[in-house]
């Protein structure tokens, strides 16, 4: 099985080869604020900075300038990586058109007008990216009205990206929205819950990863000033919540 280093501290040890699956399409789900966007960007930034893997981030949930600013709070300078030639990170604005704003961004997607697949293929050719994050599938599904069309685009995209050895993270808010239909090759869940003390704990579960032996229990993680850090030795049991 082909693997990569994810760049998220503690994540790779959840998989038996101690590395993250390469070239797969993986759903990252969780409730609001559970860390899906940070997870996706940390995966891309560290891939680009440390492992020679340029990345593409397609944002349907927020303006690229907000993303640059939010990630700067971790000390991550996306803009600097965007300015390389070819770029180490490419941000694609799928947000502005959705809410009727004009945009100065170089790369945009007008849902129902531009094909996600065509835009992505063009950027892949230009940048040689091998990591992609689409944030989020839930929003994409609400923009493209026809569920069959979304499903077809996602499946086709998965096949093309996989063929090119590209590892893709698709974020989604919950499983209840029908995202399970996309039949991804892996499913990682992010969550949080309240302890009896009133504190909250964050937890991550690798629920599915085709072809890989992996940990199958909730592990604690934190979002620190340096980003996401997973503690593979800290299993979070139901009894520890509430």
Ligand X SMILES: Nc1ncnc2c1ncn2[C@@H]1O[C@H](COP(=O)(O)OP(=O)(O)OP(=O)(O)O)[C@@H](O)[C@H]1O
**CA 67 to CA 46: how far, in whole Å?**
16
Site for ligand X contains 38 (CB under 6 A):
yes
* Partner from Mg ion, ligand X, none binding residue 182, C-beta < 5-8 Å depending on class: none
Q: Which is nearer to ligand X, 11 or 124 (CB)?
A: 11
Report which secondary-structure segment, H or E, holds 223. Answer: strand 219-224
**CA 46 to CA 80: how far, in whole Å?**
13
Count of CA atoms in the C-beta half-sphere (13 A) of 145:
2
Asked whether the beta carbons of 132 and 166 are under 8 A apart, the reply is yes
Nearest distance in Å: CB 42, ligand X: 9
* Per rule CB under 6 A, count of chain residues that contact ligand X: 15
Give the residue from 171, 157, 168 showing the smallest Cα distance to 60. 171
Q: 73 to 102, contacts with ligand X by CB under 6 A?
A: 73-74
* Listed ranges 3-11, 33-41, 45-53, 205-213: which one lies at the site for ligand X (CB under 6 A): 33-41
Residue 6 is classified by DSSP as: -
What value, to the nearest 5°, has the Cα angle with vertex 97 and ends 54 and 169?
35
Among 6, 25, 29, 34, binds ligand X (CB under 6 A): 34
Nearest distance in Å: CB 135, Mg ion: 6
Nearest distance in Å: CB 2, ligand X: 27
What are the structure tokens assigned to 15, written together?
A: 């998989």
Give the residue from 26, 43, 44 showing the smallest Cα distance to 81. 44
Q: Which is nearer to ligand X, 37 or 141 (CB)?
A: 37
* Partner from ligand X, Mg ion, none binding residue 35, C-beta < 5-8 Å depending on class: ligand X
Q: 25 to 44, contacts with Mg ion by CB under 5 A?
A: 36-37
Binding site for ligand X (CB under 6 A): 30, 32-38, 61, 73-74, 173, 223-225
Binding site for Mg ion (CB under 5 A): 36-37
């Amino acid at each position: 099985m082909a693997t990569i280093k994810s760049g998220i501290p503690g994540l790779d040890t959840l998989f038996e080869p101690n590395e993250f699956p390469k070239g797969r399409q993986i759903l990252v789900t969780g409730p609001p604020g559970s860390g899906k966007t940070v997870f996706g960007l940390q995966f891309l930034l560290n891939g680009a900075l440390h492992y020679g893997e340029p990345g593409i981030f397609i944002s349907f949930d927020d303006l690229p300038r907000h993303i640059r600013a939010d990630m700067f709070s971790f000390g991550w300078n996306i803009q600097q990586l965007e300015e390389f030639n070819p770029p180490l990170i490419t941000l694609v604005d799928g947000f502005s058109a959705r809410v009727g704003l004009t945009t100065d961004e170089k790369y945009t997607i007008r849902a129902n007008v531009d094909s996600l697949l065509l835009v992505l293929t063009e950027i892949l050719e230009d940048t040689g990216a091998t990591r992609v994050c689409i944030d989020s599938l839930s929003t994409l599904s609400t923009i493209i009205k026809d569920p069959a069309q979304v499903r077809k685009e996602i499946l086709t995209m998965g096949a093309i990206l996989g063929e090119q050895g590209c590892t893709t993270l698709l974020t989604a808010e919950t499983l209840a929205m029908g995202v399970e239909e996309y039949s991804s090759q892996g499913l990682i869940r992010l969550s949080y819950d309240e302890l009896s003390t009133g504190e909250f704990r964050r937890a991550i579960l690798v629920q599915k990863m085709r072809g890989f032996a992996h940990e199958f229990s909730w592990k604690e993680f934190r979002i620190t000033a340096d980003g996401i850090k997973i503690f593979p030795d800290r299993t979070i049991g139901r009894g520890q919540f509430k």
